[in-house]
Chain A
Amino acid sequence: MTAGLQESAPGSVAARRLPPISELLMASMACVIAGGIYLAAHLPQRAPLGLAAGLLAAGAALLVAAAVLVSLLRPFAWRIFFRVAGWALVAYAVIAGLLEFTFVYDHTRGSLLVVLTLSLLVFALDIPLLLGFSVARYQDPDSG
């Protein structure tokens, strides 16, 4: 190994086993994206909202489960987590805002808009949580 780079030692933060938070968040993303595609695939007819609402509920439940698991992590580099998650939240709020603007501009209204908006909300929270966790998990807890 070259100077400046070191091998991860057993017991280091890089080697520590953590709950499947990334997997839960990816499953949450997959649920809301699948719900969005299902709704979009039925246009201009109004798709039955049952399946999309079910996928949204599953996505939200997975997001909450992941958030609870993250909150229980000790020790954890919280400062870095909030820094990364905060900036990612700003970025994905802009992206979700653009998509919401498109839906509203296209005259999407009523319960369909509610399901799409909540799906966007889950999506826009999944990614900051995922990015914050993915970075902070490899950081020294003392540093953050």
Chain B
Amino acid sequence: MTDMTSAAPGAVMAPAEPAPPPVQVVPLLGLPFVAVALAGLVAAVGTNALWGLDFFHVVAGGLWTAIDLFVGFIVGPIIGRLPIPARAAFSSRFMPKMVLLMPTLVICTLVAGWQLARHEGNILVSSPHHGWVVASMVVVGVMAVIALGVLEPANLGVLFELKKPQPDGALIERLMRRFIYTAGITGIMQVATLVIMTRLAT
């Protein structure tokens, strides 16, 4: 809806800026889904259910990899070319979902993957797959430092800036650029994960 303000005769009527959407940093409606996922993960670990562990590792890991690649190489470059107000509008809806989704996917992938590697013996030094498992841990470790140290703080920084009555456009642009670059780096590292995991599964 466009709100037109009164103007002098002959002046061009400009549409007023739409009010910025309210930003909820953590979408509370998503918390029950996170709780269910984590309860399922604990049940799978506690019962040594191989199918459950496989399910959590493959589903969460697949989503983690796909989302990182999609955000890093498809969404990221598109956001980078949008004008700042459009980026802000996109971020205010997109980033809160990532705040809940990504840590949940990561913890489900890692815990289930560790248990699977233990059950199948891939973690053992004597296993022919041991080197690949260690390589995957190194890749995940590097991604964790980048994601938790740069990407997530940038994500939260943008969300809190958007909550201000007058957000700082230059700061949002700087933090978004940081988010997009680090999403690209983790996307590249996810290619390494794909190579390692397909090698392990072959």
Q: Is B29 positioned at the interface, with any CB of A under 8 Å from its CB?
A: no
Q: Is A106 positioned at the interface, with any CB of B under 8 Å from its CB?
A: yes
Residues of B within 8 A of A87 (CB): 26
Check if A98 sits within 8 Å of B160, measured CB to CB. no
Check if B166 sits within 8 Å of A6, measured CB to CB. yes
Which of these binds chain B: A25-33, A68-76, A109-117?
A: A25-33
Check if A135 sits within 8 Å of B153, measured CB to CB. yes
**Nearest A-chain residue to B138, judged by Cβ:** A37
Q: Is A99 positioned at the interface, with any CB of B under 8 Å from its CB?
A: yes
**Nearest A-chain residue to B86, judged by Cβ:** A2
What are some 18 contacts across the A-B interface (CB < 8 A)? A2-B17, A5-B88, A5-B172, A6-B169, A7-B168, A7-B169, A12-B168, A26-B149, A29-B144, A33-B145, A37-B138, A40-B134, A41-B130, A42-B125, A44-B125, A98-B111, A102-B115, A131-B152
Check if A6 sits within 8 Å of B103, measured CB to CB. no
Q: Is A63 positioned at the interface, with any CB of B under 8 Å from its CB?
A: no
Q: Is B46 positioned at the interface, with any CB of A under 8 Å from its CB?
A: yes
* Interchain nearest-CB distance for A77 vs B (Å): 10
Q: Is B50 positioned at the interface, with any CB of A under 8 Å from its CB?
A: no
Chain A interface residue count: which class? 35 or more
Check if A29 sits within 8 Å of B168, measured CB to CB. no
Residues of A within 8 A of B45 (CB): 101-102, 105
Check if A130 sits within 8 Å of B149, measured CB to CB. yes
**Nearest A-chain residue to B121, judged by Cβ:** A44
- Give Cα A98–Cα B109 distance, bound, in whole angstroms: 12
Check if A43 sits within 8 Å of B171, measured CB to CB. no
Which of B25-84 touch A at CB < 8 Å? 26, 38, 41-42, 45-46, 83-84
Contacting B145 at CB < 8 Å: which of A2, A26, A43? Answer: A26
* Interchain nearest-CB distance for A123 vs B (Å): 9
Check if A138 sits within 8 Å of B166, measured CB to CB. no
Contacting A138 at CB < 8 Å: which of B84, B107, B115, B157? Answer: B157
Interface centre among B166, B167, B168, B172 (most CB of A within 10 A): B168
